[in-house]
Amino acid sequence: MPAYRPEEIEKKWQAHWKTHKTFEVSNSSDKPKYYVLDMFPYPSGAGLHVGHPLGYIASDIVSRFKRLQGFNVLHPMGFDSFGLPAEQYAIQTGQHPEKTTRENIQRYIEQLSSLGFSYDWSREIRTSDARYYKWTQWIFLKLFNSWYNLETNRAESIRTLQDIFGEKGSAGVRAAGDTDERHDFTAGQWQMMTEKQRIDAVHPYRLAYQSDTYVNWCAVLGTVLSNDEVKDGLSERGGYPVERRLMPQWNLRITAYADRLLQGLDTIDWPEPVKEMQRNWIGRSVGAEVTFPLQNAPQQGIKVYTTRVDTIYGATFMVLAPEHELAAQLTTPEQKEAVDAYVLASKRRSERDRMADTKTVSGVFTGSYALNPVSGEPVPVWLADYVLAGYGTGAVMAVPSGDQRDYLFAKHFDLPIVAVTDAQQNLDQQADPTKEGHYINSELINGLAYKEATDKLIAWLEEHNLGKGKVNFRLRDAIFGRQRYWGEPLPIYYKEGLAYGVAEADLPIVLPEIDEYKPTETGEPPLGRAQDWKYRGKFDFELSTMPGWAGSSWYYLRYMDPHNDERFVGEEAEQYWQTVDLYMGGAEHATGHLLYSRFWYLFLKDLGLVSGNEPFQKLINQGMILGRSNFVYYLNLAWGTVSDEGVSDLQIPSIFISKDISERMSSGTFSLRDKEIVNDTIDLIFEKLKSQYTDRTIYRPETEFHTIPIHVDVTLVENDVINVERLKAWRPDFANATFICEPDGSFVCNWEVEKMSKSKHNVVNPDDLISRYGADALRLYEMFLGPLEQFKPWNTSGMSGVSSFLKKLWRLFHPEDGKLAVTDEAATPAELKALHKAIKKAQEDIERFSFNTSVSTFMIAVNELTALNCHKRAILEPLTVIISPYAPHLAEELWAELGHEPGSITNAQFPVFEEKYLEEASIDYPISFNGKMRGKMTFAAAAVAADIEKEVLASEIFEKFSEGKAAKKVIVVPGRMVNVVV
């Protein structure tokens, strides 16, 4: 038998699994179910790097382990295949995004398959497949045709709302949403309404509704961007200008579910930081909504929401978001120029930037005043971008004595700061938000404490119709539209200017073919380019598409029953699989995908379409694998010339300096010899330039050197020494470079651990490592790097260690890489002990998701069995099973060689740990005299202290080290040691 050859073994078993459909799973079984899910990837053109499979390997280990424990395991994979990158590529090249996406997916499937993952590929889904997004559109229609009844605390069909209107009118209807947008009418008036009037009256109650919303608009990309896609006022992709713009947008009323989303967090096994992020994002607060009448128009007012109504007497000014609907009305002619300039500047900053910038103080006075509703005092109205139009009412009552941001604003613009309690301190230095003490300067509540004062103020405001107590949420309704092509078409058409949902029988609404993938010349979304694209041939379709998170909000349900053409998931399949038992993915999705998925699931629960309470029972966030970047030092020289052209057209060869020389240069320990070498190099280049450019005078640079680090491709580097010839061929600007090397002729790079990224040239392709070491070695190494949840630096040189381990495991079956030499001899106690230690630890580690320590356990076990020269079936067979989740290809090969049916290790039984094999028959006791260890003696494990003492006193050790003295005392620590005091 030849030596262990992973390249042959792994391809063999991957083909076997595919041919025999080893991992396909049924929707019914006598076995208990277990659903393991990975966050499905977006298929980019770059393919996978070694950081991507980390979570996939971990989830695959759990899936294989659960099968060995007798579970019916669902472990699917698919692709989140709608997205802006493919569309941008289409705009640049004219190539349809579907073609690019299809090619990228094929590349991903090849890479994922090469790692030996036990996916049920028969259940693969792609969110851009019309057979899939038919059901995404169907769920949207359900949202469009539902409202949230606060009386029943669930979503209901819009028909039940219409029935209430027909019977009672709008009075008394308690529905989630903004009451200010709704009309009041009687049952009789409802009966008299036209179809158009009824639709218009119902629209503000829908869970999917259209309204004017402030969005991040990128004119160059021609689309709305999420906050995550905007940084410093520019689009993350392309760096194009982004501005805040009020546009009609589709929204989903996630705010209706805010309380339930909060409560559900207490029922799921998720990392506490993720749950806390969601709690903060939802942001439940108890306070009051208060109206500040306008001084010049008391019938109008500015509504604010505050959690500290007790401080209202300290509200010395008001701050509105620059986008506030009253901003223009409140701006006086004298302030118009300043206000317009400020509003324009604010449009160029994303909400995230505005919230994050706590240091900059900016604002502009509108010129108008409101009235403090309890004191009647006029308060100036300002605009400032630290207030957001979409949060709360878009206006705040500013209390500088109690809020630090208000305090800084007041100090900057010289506005009054009024103390409101006798416990506030150091108001000349900072705000003091204390709730302690008693109120002062607050006529209605002077002398009261916090709770009493708050209750009294709310009662007074409600009595005078100037406010009310209210529970508020930071969470805002989710914008559900993008002005782009490559996304799910919204199943909406327009008749007489009103939005209607298409008939469910007409789904899917398929993306039409268009000539270009950018907005029309008149500014419409790309779908505006579609020719004759109308609903039933006569009604205009909605031209926006759904956001990227639409398809990912329910994909875990479709995996349960992916080929069902009659239902988004069959009832039996859903009731069998219920919810995801283990979800593996990145923490960066905490307030996006994970929150939206929970929202959609709760909605489907209200409609009686799913049977669980939460979609994902346990969540694990895998850490990031960091790249080990390499960089070379470029010598930055200031060449000079006398001519009209300057130096920009000079073809000056770059000079790069090896690491040690560069470090001496920067640390001030640059030796004379170093300086001579660098100067000689510069002189050679100087002479060449003079002979090359005879039409101008060239000046040699000064000898004040400094270097600039430049990232280079890590594949050109081994042990931090770069292959200079390969580097020259890597990039054209390196081709004619000069390299100043170390005395031994090597060129040494520096290194740094940072995020793995193409821009840093530190991406490691798993294909290369699989080709060199094998997929099993890569799987083991990624787990061995450290705890799953932690960030870990990558170092390819570590791969050789796990590769050696696998070869050592192979040799337990094939000594000296010879033929199979497994025997049926009975196992010895030492061999059984080594095995059962590994069984116990492997099971415990997988159950607590501590995969790195399992790999160490396997290495120890193989080393111990190698030392024992063990080649026995009774040991090696169960050892193969416990290692199989980690190194499935090698385990399959060894299992078949042991005489089992090929591929059957998947359905083997995980070995049962037996404590008895770890019990020691005897124990070696260190024997000390007056605290100094002098030797060892072996006693039966069951020996009692009296017997041990007797044998020690009669032993040769005692005779030798007691120096003829009698023992004063013998201390026996059972199972540990003996100390004789003489």
Going by the annotation, the residues of the binding site are 758
Are 626 and 755 within 8 A, CB to CB? yes
- Please give the radius of gyration of the chain, using alpha carbons only, rounded to the nearest integer: 36
Are 552 and 81 within 8 A, CB to CB? no
Q: How far is CA 165 from CA 65, 142, 190, 443, in A?
A: 56, 20, 7, 45
Q: Is 134 left (phi over 0), alpha (psi -120 to 50) or beta?
A: alpha
Helix, strand and coil content of the chain, in percent to the nearest 5, comes to 40, 20, 40
Structure tokens at 776: 């099993």
- Rounded to whole angstroms, the Cα distance separating 921 from 741 reads 62
Helix (DSSP H) and strand (DSSP E) numbers for the chain: 31, 37
- Rounded to whole angstroms, the Cα distance separating 553 from 592 reads 10
Q: What torsion do the CA atoms of 351, 355, 360, 363 make, to the nearest 10 degrees?
A: 60
Structure tokens at 592: 């996006």
- Rounded to whole angstroms, the Cα distance separating 216 from 232 reads 12
Angle at 290 between CA 285 and CA 296, to 5 degrees: 150
Q: Where are the alpha helices (DSSP H) in 714-816?
A: 724-730, 766-773, 775-784, 799-813
Are 878 and 838 within 8 A, CB to CB? no
Q: Is 646 left (phi over 0), alpha (psi -120 to 50) or beta?
A: left
Angle at 149 between CA 145 and CA 150, to 5 degrees: 150
Q: Is 104 left (phi over 0), alpha (psi -120 to 50) or beta?
A: alpha
Tell me the CB-side half-sphere exposure of residue 454, using CA atoms within 13 A.
14
Are 584 and 58 within 8 A, CB to CB? yes
> Residue 522: is it exposed, middle or buried by C-beta count within 10 angstroms (0-12/13-18/19+)?
exposed
- Find, among 619, 599, 589, 588, the residue nearest to 36 by Cα: 619
Tell me the CB-side half-sphere exposure of residue 890, using CA atoms within 13 A.
31
- List binding-site positions for ATP: 758
Q: Which residues contact 841 (CB under 8 A, 6 or more apart)?
A: 853, 854, 857
Q: φ and ψ at 773, to 5 degrees?
A: -115, -25
Tell me the CB-side half-sphere exposure of residue 146, using CA atoms within 13 A.
24
Structure tokens at 931: 């605290």
